[in-house]
Amino acid sequence: MLGATGWFLDNAWLIPIIPGVAFALIILIGKRLPMQGSELGVASMAASLVLSVGAAYQWIQRVDDAGGHSEAGTLGLIAGFGRSLTAAQEEGAAYVQPVIRSWTWWESGGASFGYGQHIDGLAVMMLFLVAFISLLVQIYSLEYVRGDRRYTHFFAAITLFSAGMLVMVLGENMIQVILGWEIMGLCSFLLIGHWWEDEANSTAALKAFLTVRVGDIGLLVGTSVLFFGANDWTQENLGTSGFSIQGLSAWALSGEASETVLLWGAVALFIACIGKSGQFPLHTWLPDAMAGPTPVSSLLHSSTMVVAGVFLVARLYPVFWEAFSIPDVSVNFIVVIAGITIVISALLAFVQDDIKKVLAYSTVSQLGYMMLGLGAGAWLPAVFHIFTHAFFKCCLFLCAGSVSHSGSHHSFDMKRDMGGLAKKMPITAGAWIVATLALAGVFPLSGFFSKDEIIDNVGHNGYEVFMYIALFGAFLTAGYMTRATYLTFFGEPRGAAAGERHEEHKDLHAPAFAMAGAHGDAQGSPDTAPAEDDPADPLLHGGDAAAGEARDVADPGEAMVGPVGADRHDAHGHDAHGPHESPKLILIPVCILAFFALTAGFTNAVAFGEDWEQFKEYVEPIAEASDLEAAGAAPRASDLEAAGAASVRSGSSILNDASSHSVSSPAPVQEEGGEEEHASGCGYTAPEEGGICFFPAVSHAEFEWSKAALSLIVVGIGLVGSWFVCVALYSKRSRSLVGLTQRLAPARWGYNFLWNKYYLDHLYEQRIIRSIAHPIARGANWVNQNVIDGVVNGLGIGGRKTGGWVYRNIDQRVVDGAVNASGAAAGGTGHALQPVQSGKVNQYGALLFGAAAVFAIVLVIVNV
């Protein structure tokens, strides 16, 4: 028995190292292996998963040991397994020390930069999530990218990508977080531009990379600001540098932190999160990132990359908590950005024809929920939403990939190449529907338990306005997901889903293709009024032969459709042309994910009472002031004995005043929901002398069926309403709905506004970049024409006169004389030395050493 820590917890730093090493191996020897390196990627992710599960198990033990959690009952068996005597005697809930280890990486100017691990509930949860999703995605990729041009490189990049996220997740200090963050940025560039032969793809990769870089400046600035603000305090009190996550958390809550430093540091960090997590002004890169292979989109949008920003806020929560005064206000920077993001991206999802872009906007919207939760003090629901969202979003993306792989001939266009696939691909359709319902937040599925909790807690913490925004977002979510489901799996098969091949489309323009041609006409030029939902109308658009061509050329998102897609299809040569169910390697990960989408919610099912709230128990840190000595000693000790020192200050739970040492107080920490917890505790008042806080006392809304019913009704209306609209629009082609966006001016205006993505791309590319570049260019031109030219002309006239005099007197006589003389001298010397330059290396060497020897002899003689 290893005691309260354990091998897996102590050695969690190995988890990112394994895929890191695997990446190097794949690059070096991958091509010579029987499966071209993919087996290394899959094996490394499996090993990471095993270690993560071990760490998660031991973390649960550790929490049970440290506090009175074993009384919670559900995990009594596990808890009884490894309890140490001293810990078991403590009944109150104490802050459980994270398992921190750190090695100095390099030192510079007195500051040391470390690599280490900071393992607590959040890190353990994320480690498991990242390793698990990555493993499934890699298994899926075995089939999906089979026969690809850069198969080995794909697996190398995707393995390094997971390694980057893992490095960041268990980062002990901000430097390590930046390291992981940047590794991910690089790999996202490599993966989004995986098929870089297509210019659209490499443009998308560049856009993703550069947009995220804009935010990354915030990460660097924020880290520096916080370091200089916190370093003195952390060195004195904890003995760690101002980069340390734990140090920053404690500093932020100590009450001694400068408000200004905190605010600017937090704002800068949040700007980084806006870029990475695709929040409102910088979300434009996310949908374009769909240019990458589907497994990449799936990994990027579920557990890695975009979640990194949310994770950073959750990780440094005390900093944001204090900087934005989260408990005291009803509106702040984070929730405003998040609220805007939720609504605008959900609306955008309605006008997308590309199934992956619908999912991309859906991800942006869900990330908005997570940020909203964090911004409004609902830390736990937000983190829980990361957990559940990863499963169902990954499942949705993999389903979309499965559809395009086997059902729609590598097209992602729902209106053109899908429809009615439920009969042909029942398993994919089933998984998709489960995940869709989970995403919409239908009761027993995972999304309900997390999203509803966020909405509940946001209202509970005094952010009522944003609760209604979130409810509206839930309604929109149900709507656009139903639309996507209907277009993909129900109704009449169209295009490739009906068994046609793209080659035929392009060459023959069969009547059935007229519809696609109609859309191509409209969408090829996005600035004109696009025709929404136009059914096959051969009289209007039929025979518009050029339109289909135009669409293939014009829409950069459809990189898969063009001739490249056809090549790829031939390369892995499955010869069945009609839609069919995908092979097992694709279906198994999809089914596993669908299972988790169905059940993951029960890990923190608030609705069923406290015994179900496993996340609250094991993931959320307990906001309890620890003794300074114990806390300060623990991070530096190699922490095998840290657990013993961790559980200090028994008895005072957050319900009571932190100063009351009532050891007999039996108040268990699970007893939540009272308003009185706002009164005091970490994050509300500064810890008393000698105490130290690592996490604010976040409040939890009590679950009420009436509140849940409200959100369920909203979701239900969204689902059913959208379904009927879809049936009317796409199948029955109701006269009042079809073409509505063209007949009705406000609808047309709104549709154009959405179609052009709120003109944000336009704003960035045309307005901002131009408005900065053009005045500079114009100003430079004016300066050039007037100032510089004037000066130059004046100088020229003066210069010509001076020049004449100089030429006659100085140049001809003095200079020429000197030049000629030196030329003659150089020529003479050159001729004299020419024999030395024989071109023979040996001779040069001999001269070199001979000269050195002569000088050495001279030196010796002079010195002696």
Partner 1 sequence: MFAVNFFLLAAVLFCIGVYGVIARRNAVLVLMSVELILNSVNLNLLGFSLINGNIDGHVFALYIIAVAAAEVGVGLAMVMLVYRNRRSIALDDLSEMKG
Q: Per CB under 8 A, does 842 bind partner 1?
A: yes
Q: Per CB under 8 A, does 837 bind partner 1?
A: yes
Say which amino acid occupies 417: D
Residue that the structure tokens 């135009």 belong to: 550
Residue 323 to residue 356: CA distance in whole angstroms: 37
Strand partners, 354: 413
Stretch that binds partner 1, among 275-283, 605-613, 727-735, 837-845 (CB under 8 A): 837-845
Stretch that binds partner 1, among 90-98, 530-538, 739-747, 832-840 (CB under 8 A): 832-840
Stretch that binds partner 1, among 277-285, 784-792, 805-813, 836-844 (CB under 8 A): 836-844
Stretch that binds partner 1, among 142-150, 240-248, 383-391, 839-847 (CB under 8 A): 839-847
Shortest distance, CB of residue 115 to partner 1, whole angstroms? 23
CB-based contact 439:482 (threshold 8 Å): no
Shortest distance, CB of residue 832 to partner 1, whole angstroms? 12
- What's the length of the chain? 864
Sign, Cα dihedral of 109, 115, 120, 122: positive
What is the CA angle 856-862-864, rounded to 5?
100
3-state helix, strand, coil in the chain (%, to 5): 70, 5, 25
Applying CB under 8 A, among 845, 851, 855, 857 the residue interacting with partner 1 is: 845
Say which amino acid occupies 666: P
Residue 402 to residue 396: CA distance in whole angstroms: 10
Shortest distance, CB of residue 845 to partner 1, whole angstroms? 4
In angstroms, the Cα distances linking 401 to 334, 363, 412 are: 33, 16, 8
Closer residue to partner 1 (CB): 103 or 844: 844
Shortest distance, CB of residue 425 to partner 1, whole angstroms? 55
Q: Which helix (H) or strand (E) holds 107?
A: strand 99-108
Closer residue to partner 1 (CB): 833 or 864: 833
- The alpha helices in 576-700, defined as continuous H runs, are 584-599, 614-618, 628-636, 642-646
Shortest distance, CB of residue 841 to partner 1, whole angstroms? 5
Residue 376 to residue 335: CA distance in whole angstroms: 7
Stretch that binds partner 1, among 157-165, 389-397, 476-484, 835-843 (CB under 8 A): 835-843
Please state the three-class secondary structure of 33-45 as a single string.
CCCCCHHHHHHHH
Applying CB under 8 A, among 846, 851, 854, 857 the residue interacting with partner 1 is: 846
Residues numbered 422-461 forming contacts with partner 1, rule: CB under 8 A: none
Closer residue to partner 1 (CB): 85 or 832: 832
Shortest distance, CB of residue 846 to partner 1, whole angstroms? 4
CB-based contact 376:317 (threshold 8 Å): no
Closer residue to partner 1 (CB): 801 or 831: 831
Q: What are phi and psi of 17, to 5 degrees?
A: -65, -40
Stretch that binds partner 1, among 185-193, 335-343, 712-720, 828-836 (CB under 8 A): 828-836
Contact letters (x/-) for partner 1, 759-778, by CB under 8 A? --------------------
Shortest distance, CB of residue 615 to partner 1, whole angstroms? 51
What is the CA angle 574-576-581, rounded to 5?
90
Closer residue to partner 1 (CB): 793 or 837: 837
Closer residue to partner 1 (CB): 609 or 823: 823
Shortest distance, CB of residue 856 to partner 1, whole angstroms? 11
Shortest distance, CB of residue 823 to partner 1, whole angstroms? 17
Closer residue to partner 1 (CB): 776 or 846: 846
Shortest distance, CB of residue 827 to partner 1, whole angstroms? 13
Applying CB under 8 A, among 325, 766, 786, 838 the residue interacting with partner 1 is: 838
Cβ neighbors of 210 (< 8 A, separation 6 or more) are: none
Residues in the interface with partner 1 (CB under 8 A) total 13
Residue 253 to residue 625: CA distance in whole angstroms: 10
Stretch that binds partner 1, among 84-92, 298-306, 479-487, 833-841 (CB under 8 A): 833-841
Stretch that binds partner 1, among 68-76, 476-484, 549-557, 838-846 (CB under 8 A): 838-846
Closer residue to partner 1 (CB): 792 or 825: 825
Exposure class string for 411-431: b at 16+ Cβ within 10 A, else e: bbbbbbbbbbbbebbebbbbb
Contact letters (x/-) for partner 1, 808-827, by CB under 8 A? --------------------
Name the token pair of 716: 């239900």
Closer residue to partner 1 (CB): 815 or 854: 854
Residue 107 to residue 110: CA distance in whole angstroms: 7
Shortest distance, CB of residue 858 to partner 1, whole angstroms? 18
Closer residue to partner 1 (CB): 736 or 842: 842
Stretch that binds partner 1, among 399-407, 572-580, 820-828, 840-848 (CB under 8 A): 840-848
Q: Per CB under 8 A, does 839 bind partner 1?
A: yes
Half-sphere exposure of 21 (CA within 13 A, CB side): 9
Residue 385 to residue 446: CA distance in whole angstroms: 9
Count CB atoms within 10 A of the CB of residue 247. 27
Residue 251 to residue 247: CA distance in whole angstroms: 6
Of residues 50, 231, 271, 15, the one with CA closest to residue 123: 15
Shortest distance, CB of residue 860 to partner 1, whole angstroms? 14
Residue 290 to residue 159: CA distance in whole angstroms: 19
Closer residue to partner 1 (CB): 735 or 840: 840
Closer residue to partner 1 (CB): 7 or 849: 849
Residue that the structure tokens 């400068």 belong to: 258
Closer residue to partner 1 (CB): 842 or 863: 842
Shortest distance, CB of residue 852 to partner 1, whole angstroms? 9
Applying CB under 8 A, among 749, 782, 849, 855 the residue interacting with partner 1 is: 849
Strand partners, 113: 106
Residue 820 to residue 818: CA distance in whole angstroms: 6
Residue 635 to residue 52: CA distance in whole angstroms: 21
Closer residue to partner 1 (CB): 814 or 846: 846
CB-based contact 363:393 (threshold 8 Å): yes
Shortest distance, CB of residue 844 to partner 1, whole angstroms? 9
Q: Per CB under 8 A, does 834 bind partner 1?
A: yes
Of residues 237, 477, 210, the one with CA closest to residue 362: 477
Closer residue to partner 1 (CB): 85 or 841: 841
User: For residue 500, what is the DSSP state?
Assistant: -
Applying CB under 8 A, among 576, 745, 797, 841 the residue interacting with partner 1 is: 841
Shortest distance, CB of residue 849 to partner 1, whole angstroms? 5
Shortest distance, CB of residue 839 to partner 1, whole angstroms? 3
Stretch that binds partner 1, among 90-98, 212-220, 735-743, 845-853 (CB under 8 A): 845-853
Closer residue to partner 1 (CB): 576 or 841: 841
Residue 576 to residue 583: CA distance in whole angstroms: 12
Shortest distance, CB of residue 107 to partner 1, whole angstroms? 16
Q: Per CB under 8 A, does 840 bind partner 1?
A: yes
Closer residue to partner 1 (CB): 713 or 852: 852
Strand partners, 101: 117
Cβ neighbors of 184 (< 8 A, separation 6 or more) are: 161, 164, 165, 168, 304, 305, 308
Q: Which residues bind partner 1 (CB under 8 A)?
A: 830, 833-834, 836-842, 845-846, 849
